[in-house]
Chain A
């Protein structure tokens, strides 16, 4: 089956710093989404981005489908950005990466 790899596994930032999270996938996909899981376990949809670039406030994402990777950019990070960020791809069904655990310190 398809492999979804996220890096880095853990990331610690000071408030105000910028970061880039990466998602590599091993096959062509129909859909790619980024989620943020907050400390209460809720999965928040960040981006639906099978290809191209999207921006939403301090967050942006780029997917290069032909090269099988996606990037999530977080600028001017805040403590509320802490949590786990998941990349998920739709192949035969939705497959999740292992996640990047982000901690933003004040």
Chain B
């Protein structure tokens, strides 16, 4: 059974600081997704990482994938309050993009002014 673990699960940080969220998974996959969820809302797609060594950046967020270590990271640079949300990573177990995703428990991020 595929397991996806995120850490930390809760993170409170100040504006302007940098931090990294980690996502470990237990089986081979080369397709990993990052989503953002605001309270009471649905999932907003942030990144799709499709191969080992993939790195994608959008604004203050950068995601990377190491399939050999079964690890993805979401790095936040110079955090701003608007980035406060819950962040989920999700793994496609078959790697082909055709299967249901297995999600981590999420990282609840609070960025304080």
Report whether chain A binds chain B: no
A residues with CB within 8 A of B: none
